[in-house]
Amino acid sequence: MSSIESTLKEIKESFGNDHVITDLESLTFYSTDVFKQADEIAVAVVRP
């Protein structure tokens, strides 16, 4: 398991799966600025 996968697992265990977004469509949305498409996509988004 990579360090990113391991970290995501810990985050999901801490905050719950419902609060951690990892699907590509949502990550693309959250990684995009109002003025331009992001050069890189976030690995995850954690919401309250």
pLDDT of residue 30: 92
pLDDT of residue 36: 83
Across 3-18, average pLDDT: 96
Query: Which residue's structure tokens are 């801490």?
Result: 14
pLDDT tens-place string over residues 20-39: 999 999 999 999 988 887 78
8: pLDDT strictly greater than 90:
yes
Tell me the whole-structure pTM to 2 decimals.
Answer: 0.79
Domain ranges of the chain: 3-46
Among 32, 19, 7, 26, smallest CA distance to 40 is for 32
